[in-house]
């Protein structure tokens, strides 16, 4: 970008306005995509409900991961 | 059109739905009967000694611990608060029951914390899931830190509960005690159980009635939860879809509604865990749903208080205390900017710590829900 000191004040003002407008557009698009992703996850609620139940498998997996973690830390 | 579990008339699916709804109604009826049995059993077994029997819990910290550990073991705040309602109807002093109700709030948050352990295989997923679970723990702990001293000093919640229950009992033309058809409907079952077990003697019979009532509450709440999960998943989806992009207040209302529909705060808060784990929902989106779940779960204790025998007004008072405590907790902590995101910050820190060191997750669960409460209970019993 050209040296900022050389840009006219009015041009600078326009650039700031344009950038702010662009930022708003980017934020809107980001929010729209994030909301779409959330709606998609809610559509999978039945599947999530299965993973939201207590299971001995997940406790067992956690304990084995925790022990592996401790062994790695001891080794290193 | 949203999935609402309403099939074409006369189909097998529709018949199955109707059978499941009838089963829910039957189980709710059993739940209310069970609470009545606990009240009757406690009254028979304890007689006038109710206060002395629970003297160990007259220390509010002991009561808090009892509520926490009992709920952590049973995995259902609805079960524990229903039991508390029954005991209060049978003579347990309300001031002793209040900290137990607060403890039940803490104890129930163990469920979603354990559920989050299932995400351990992927570090960033586990960090998100564990944070989403423990934000509930931290909110409930903060709620106790704020309200327990107020309760000890001023009896704030007890007073509010009494004020809310008073119009329903003996209050001139506003009294509804004469119209208690729920009590009349549950009386045959409760009286039959009482008749059968109290014939063994007041103490033994009373204790057996309490144990039977607790078992019945546990089973009915467990099966109500299972059935409503299937029946209401479509409605729950609908409610959650409408809350997307609408801000935290909408999230709180949605969490409340979904919890009322499925009759279980553990279900709602546990559901937040995989949603957070997926990465689609940040902690700031999950948090309001969790708060709503705290409020929605109060409906069970209110239902339980509708048909107790014995001190019905006190039973309704404790049910309203449960509701008031949770509503005020949300209003105060979420309402005050400097308190609002403290649970979120704490949960984010803990999630990051636990994802780096899994032992921290285990230590947290054991300490918060068992070791610290156990030590506190030991100390208070010695004092």
Question: Over the stretch B57-104, which tens digit does the pLDDT of each residue have?
Answer: 678 888 998 899 889 888 889 989 999 999 898 889 999 999 999 999
Q: Residues B294-337: pLDDT tens digits?
A: 999 999 899 888 877 778 889 999 999 999 999 999 999 999 99
pLDDT at B6 over 80: no
Determine the pLDDT at residue B90.
85
Per CB-CB distance under 8 Å, the chain B contacts of A34 are 280
pLDDT at B3 over 50: no
Determine the pLDDT at residue B179.
47
| DSSP alpha helix (H) spans, chain B | 12-46, 50-53, 60-74, 77-89, 94-116, 123-154, 156-165, 181-198, 202-243, 248-262, 265-277, 283-296, 298-304, 312-329, 335, 337-340, 342-356, 358-366, 372-382
pLDDT at B158 over 80: yes
Determine the pLDDT at residue B276.
93
> Nearest CB to A59: which of B114, B237, B267?
B114
Q: Touching check for A1 and chain B: CB below 8 Å?
A: no
pLDDT at B44 over 90: no
Q: Under an 8 A CB cutoff, do A31 and B245 touch?
A: yes
> Nearest CB to A41: which of B117, B275, B357?
B275
Per CB-CB distance under 8 Å, the chain A contacts of B364 are none
Q: Is this complex's ipTM strictly greater than 0.85?
A: no
Q: pLDDT class for B173, splitting at 50, 70, 90?
A: very low
CA-CA-CA-CA torsion sign (B175, B79, B248, B317): positive
Residues B117, B118, B121: CA angle, nearest 5 degrees: 95
Determine the pLDDT at residue A41.
92
Q: pLDDT class for B9, splitting at 50, 70, 90?
A: low
pLDDT at A17 over 50: yes
pLDDT at B5 over 60: no
Q: Under an 8 A CB cutoff, do A49 and B271 touch?
A: yes
Asked if B183 and B315 count as a contact pair (C-beta separation under 8 A), the reply is no
Q: Under an 8 A CB cutoff, do A39 and B359 touch?
A: no
Determine the pLDDT at residue A2.
61
pTM: 0.86
CB atoms within 10 A of CB B146: 16
Measured torsion, CA atoms of residues B168, B174, B175, B180, in degrees rounded to the nearest 10: -80
Per CB-CB distance under 8 Å, the chain A contacts of B285 are 38
> Nearest CB to A39: which of B241, B285, B358?
B241
**How far A31 CA lies from chain B's nearest CA (Å)?**
8
Q: pLDDT class for B10, splitting at 50, 70, 90?
A: low
Report the pLDDT averaged over residues B5-15. Answer: 64
**How far B226 CA lies from chain A's nearest CA (Å)?**
11
Q: Residues B221-235: pLDDT tens digits?
A: 889 888 888 888 888
Q: Under an 8 A CB cutoff, do B275 and A59 touch?
A: no
Q: Residues A23-75: pLDDT tens digits?
A: 999 999 999 999 999 999 999 988 888 877 777 888 888 888 888 888 888 88
Least confident of B62-71, B248-257, B340-349: B62-71
pLDDT at B141 over 80: yes
Determine the pLDDT at residue B215.
92
Least confident of B119-123, B224-228, B374-378: B374-378
pLDDT at B363 over 80: yes
Residues 6+ apart with CB under 8 A from B77: B71, B104, B105, B107, B108, B265, B266, B297
Determine the pLDDT at residue B4.
47
Residues 6+ apart with CB under 8 A from B6: B14, B17
Per CB-CB distance under 8 Å, the chain A contacts of B275 are 41-42, 48
Q: pLDDT class for B176, splitting at 50, 70, 90?
A: very low
**How far B69 CA lies from chain A's nearest CA (Å)?**
18
The Cα B276–Cα B125 span in angstroms is 8
**How far A53 CA lies from chain B's nearest CA (Å)?**
6
Determine the pLDDT at residue B172.
40
Nearest residue in B to A51, CA atom: B274
Q: Under an 8 A CB cutoff, do B115 and A58 touch?
A: yes
Q: Touching check for A27 and chain B: CB below 8 Å?
A: no
Arithmetic mean of pLDDT over chain B: 87
Helix (H) or strand (E) run with residue B282 in it: none
Distances (CA, A) of B105 to B102, B142, B257, B269, B376: 5, 11, 18, 12, 18
> Nearest CB to B115: which of A35, A43, A54?
A54
Determine the pLDDT at residue B346.
96
Q: How far apart are the first and last CA of chain B?
A: 62
Cβ-based interface (< 8 Å): residues of B facing A: 75, 111-112, 114-115, 117-118, 120-121, 229, 233, 236-237, 240-241, 244-245, 267, 270-271, 273-275, 278, 280-281, 285, 357-359, 361-362
Q: Residues B253-298: pLDDT tens digits?
A: 999 999 998 888 988 999 999 999 999 999 999 999 999 999 999 9
Tell me which residues of chain A, numbers 32 to 71, contact chain B at a CB-CB cutoff of 8 Å: 34-35, 37-43, 45-46, 48-49, 51-55, 57-59, 61-63, 65-66, 69-70
Q: Under an 8 A CB cutoff, do A45 and B271 touch?
A: yes
């Amino acid at each position: 970008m050209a040296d900022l000191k050389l840009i006219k004040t009015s041009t600078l003002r326009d650039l700031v306005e344009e950038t702010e407008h662009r930022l708003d557009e980017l934020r809107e698009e980001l929010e729209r995509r994030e909301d779409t992703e959330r709606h998609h996850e809610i559509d999978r609620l039945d599947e999530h409900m299965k993973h939201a139940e207590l299971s001995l498998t997940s406790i067992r997996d956690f304990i084995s991961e925790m022990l592996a973690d401790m062994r790695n830390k001891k080794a290193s | 059109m949203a999935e609402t579990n309403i099939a074409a008339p006369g189909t097998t699916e529709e018949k199955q739905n109707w059978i499941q709804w009838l089963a829910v109604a039957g189980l709710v009826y059993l739940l209310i009967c069970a609470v009545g049995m606990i009240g009757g059993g406690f009254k028979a077994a304890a007689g006038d000694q109710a206060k002395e029997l629970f003297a160990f819990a007259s220390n509010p910290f002991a009561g808090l611990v009892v509520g926490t550990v009992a709920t952590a073991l049973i995995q259902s705040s609805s079960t524990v608060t229903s039991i508390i309602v029954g005991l209060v109807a049978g003579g347990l002093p309300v001031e002793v029951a209040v900290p137990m109700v607060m403890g039940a709030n803490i104890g129930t948050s163990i469920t979603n914390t354990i559920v989050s352990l299932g995400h351990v295989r992927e570090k960033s997923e586990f960090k998100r899931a564990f944070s989403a679970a423990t934000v509930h723990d931290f909110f409930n702990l903060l709620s106790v830190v704020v309200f327990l001293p107020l309760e000890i000093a001023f009896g704030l919640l007890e007073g509010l509960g009494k004020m809310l229950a008073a119009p329903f009992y003996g209050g001139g033309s506003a009294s509804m005690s004469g119209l208690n058809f729920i009590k009349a409907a549950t009386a045959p079952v409760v009286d039959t159980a009482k008749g059968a077990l109290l014939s063994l003697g007041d103490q033994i019979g009373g204790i057996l009635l309490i144990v039977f009532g607790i078992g019945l509450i546990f089973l009915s709440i467990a099966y109500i939860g299972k059935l409503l999960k299937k029946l209401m998943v479509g409605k729950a989806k609908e409610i959650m879809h409408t809350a997307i992009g609408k801000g935290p207040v909408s999230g709180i209302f949605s969490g409340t509604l979904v919890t009322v529909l499925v009759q279980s705060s553990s279900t709602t808060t546990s559901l937040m865990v995989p949603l957070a784990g997926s990465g689609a929902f940040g902690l700031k989106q999950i948090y309001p749903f969790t708060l709503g779940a705290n409020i929605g779960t109060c409906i069970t204790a209110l239902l339980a208080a509708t048909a107790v025998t014995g001190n019905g007004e006190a039973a309704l008072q404790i049910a309203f205390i449960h509701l008031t405590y949770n509503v005020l907790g949300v209003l105060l902590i979420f309402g005050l900017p400097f308190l609002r995101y403290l649970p979120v910050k704490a949960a984010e820190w803990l999630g990051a710590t636990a994802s780096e060191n899994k032992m921290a997750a285990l230590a947290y669960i054991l300490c918060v829900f068992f070791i610290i409460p156990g030590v506190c209970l030991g100390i208070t019993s010695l004092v």
